[in-house]
Amino acid sequence: MTDDVFLLEPFNERGQMALLKTVTHTDENNSGFHDVGETLVYTFTVRNIGQVNITDLVLVDSLLNQHTIKLDGVILRKNEEYIVTAKYTITEEDINRKKVNNQAFIFGKNPRNFDVKDWSGNSWTTNDVTSIDIDKAPKFRLKKSIFNKGTGENEQFTHGDEIIYQFDVLHEGDIAVGALTLVDALIFDAAQSLAIPTLKNQTHTLSYSYRVTPEDITRGKVENSTLISGRDEKYNNELKDISGSSYENDEKTITGLNPCRVPEGSHVVNRKFKSPFHHAIKCLMISLNIRVGISLNQLVIAFHIGAYF
């Protein structure tokens, strides 16, 4: 005979529960991606799948700041559910790991004061780890420059010249960007689709041209910006950037113009004149393709106004 006593608990009186865990990302800056300081919201739903009440419920999750959450006063009856939410702040380490994995554990007491417990899962019938990808936005930039030189004085552009713009599209990151388009009211009549299907960790260079008009000469400059847009291949977020002189700014591309076209072989290239009137006469000569074979200071052009230079 022995003094040891074993208590066999009837199955229906043991109690059973299941813990379902889900996670959502709160996109505070509406970027569509995950950034340091943004919030993950975990939702824990505990369900009584047994025959007896469960009390003294405690939820444990080492990832959360409050590792242990006591569900004080909760009595979970048959087929009832109770929901708890908790927040977690994304860290730089999470960004580097590109993922947050964790699992929770819940336990309580049945009427006989024995433990009832379960590990969380992504469904009612599993005990798997809850995982969420952490993806920062790829770097997506547009740099714009002028590739060629003009035919005007000092290689400036003038009426009829073609300005060739060079566009360098930069991508850095884990998620490729596709559906690339350029919008530039000066160069294109409509959004221009790029021939490359996707861009990932590379720089793509392309060029488009614009011909200087008389109206541009009147304004004295050509000024414009270009917008590039695309969609990432994982979340379908739209990414945009405005062209700049470097990848890090959005400066407009401003091209100064010169009204004088210098014919090939002309002796007036880079000549300096003493007054705006002299310069205007020179520009008139150049625009009429007058070629001068002698010193301009010796040349007299008779106008009705009697001007000399």
H helix or E strand, kind and range, residue 261 = none
Is the domain covering 139-256 a CATH 3.40.1450.10 domain?
no
Residue 92 · residue 120 · CB < 8 Å: no
User: Token pair of 138, please?
Assistant: 């790829």
- Taking the C-alpha atoms of residue 146 and residue 290, their distance in angstroms, rounded to an integer, is 30
pLDDT for res 3: 55
Is the domain covering 11-133 a CATH 2.60.40.1470 domain?
yes
- Taking the C-alpha atoms of residue 203 and residue 110, their distance in angstroms, rounded to an integer, is 63
194: β partners:
none
Identical fold at 11-133 and 139-256? yes
Tens-place pLDDT, residues 229-281: 999 999 999 999 999 999 999 999 999 998 876 555 544 444 444 444 455 55
Domain chopping of the chain, boundaries: 11-133, 139-256, 260-309
> Considering the chain, what is the average pLDDT of its residues?
85
Tens-place pLDDT, residues 59-74: 999 888 678 999 999 9
Angle at CA of residue 276, ends 274 and 282, nearest 5°? 80
Dihedral of CA 132/134/137/138: which sign?
negative
H helix or E strand, kind and range, residue 286 = helix 276-287
